[in-house]
Amino acid sequence: MEGKTIYEIRRTPEAVVEAGRVVGRYLSNRGFSLPLNVTYTGCGSSHFLSQLLAMATTRAGGKGEAVPCSELLLERIYHPLDETQLIVITSRSGETTEAIEVAEMVRNLGVSTMGVMAHESPLSKKTDTALIVPAHEESIVMTHSFTAFYTALLDVIERSYLEEGINFRSLRSAVMEVLKEEKLIKETINETDFNSAIYLGSGMLYPVALEASLKMKEMAILWSEAHPTFEFRHGFKVMAGNGTLVVMLTTKPTERHERFMRELQGQGAKVMGIGYEDFGTDLFLRIPEVSEIEVPAVYLPLIQLIAYYKAVKRGLNPDKPRFLSKVVRW
């Protein structure tokens, strides 16, 4: 029987449109705009989301940085927050202890806070402003809420620095196109044998690779890693051999991607490409073309489906990952 996780991945297109609706209301009611220097924080998947948001902020003309909540709390000496004008704390549940503790700590420092969560929660009461993106999930692992939060905040970022937001309707269509390939993704994973996965991505596709690797661990309990694409050649590549699936995330393959792919194939690894254009990979999954900052939103459901179907193939229940709970508390 199909469970919550797959249902929630399939809900991504509606979640994106809903994100657009709430963010539109939020911005017009408050006349809200991001300041120049923004620090994004979260835990687990929400930290990878923070990394994407910090990059999108810098790309749009602000100054974004991302620090995991636990590091902000415990290693403050390395994160003085001197320049930070706003801390954006993302947490699907709004109940993660470290996220709440950051809100409390920052309040004492006099820095403004914005919380982003799926519903009213302890966190939404502790931040100066709260953007509630109603991407409710029952599953333990974060799926469509990640994409919904990303698109909502991307809209806030683009409007704050560039004055033009994103087109939620066209992004929804692109996400729907990805989901139409669910059968192909399932077959591809069923037909490919691998006992470890390495995700490689550059720029904004690096946090996507980190999230893909985390999904593979959480759902399929499979050894996985993520690296900035070409950094992997510097020593790490010894890990890619027979039985390894290397997933190269790239929309613009270059001659270096091609050479690197051949190098990995020569080591015995299988290479999967995900992007616009195949460059001679063993397996290739195409994504629809969108603007560069929207690209993470089309990769996310795809990498979630890969992890989901790998879990199913391994006879695991992705709704019940071992040792995990929906909310991490101290």
Contacts with ligand F1P by CB under 6 A lie at: 43-46, 91-93, 96, 99, 140-142, 218, 324, 326-328
Shortest Cβ 175–ligand F1P spacing (Å): 20
Shortest Cβ 49–ligand F1P spacing (Å): 8
Shortest Cβ 42–ligand F1P spacing (Å): 6
Is residue 310 within 8 Å of 189, Cβ to Cβ?
Answer: yes
Shortest Cβ 141–ligand F1P spacing (Å): 5
Name the phi and psi angles at 100, rounded to 5: -70, -40
Q: What residue type is 13 in one-letter code?
A: P
Alpha carbon distance 103, 54 (integer Å): 18
Choose between 97 and 251: whose C-beta lies nearer to ligand F1P.
97
Reading phi first (left if > 0) and then psi (alpha if -120 to 50, else beta), residue 163 is in left
Choose between 89 and 302: whose C-beta lies nearer to ligand F1P.
89
Choose between 92 and 270: whose C-beta lies nearer to ligand F1P.
92
Choose between 43 and 204: whose C-beta lies nearer to ligand F1P.
43
Alpha carbon distance 320, 5 (integer Å): 9
State the distance between the two ends of the chain, measured CA to CA, in whole angstroms. Answer: 34
Choose between 141 and 290: whose C-beta lies nearer to ligand F1P.
141
**Which residue, judged by CB position, is nearest to ligand F1P in the bound state?**
44
Shortest Cβ 99–ligand F1P spacing (Å): 5
Alpha carbon distance 154, 90 (integer Å): 13
The residue whose two tokens read 């490919």 is 192
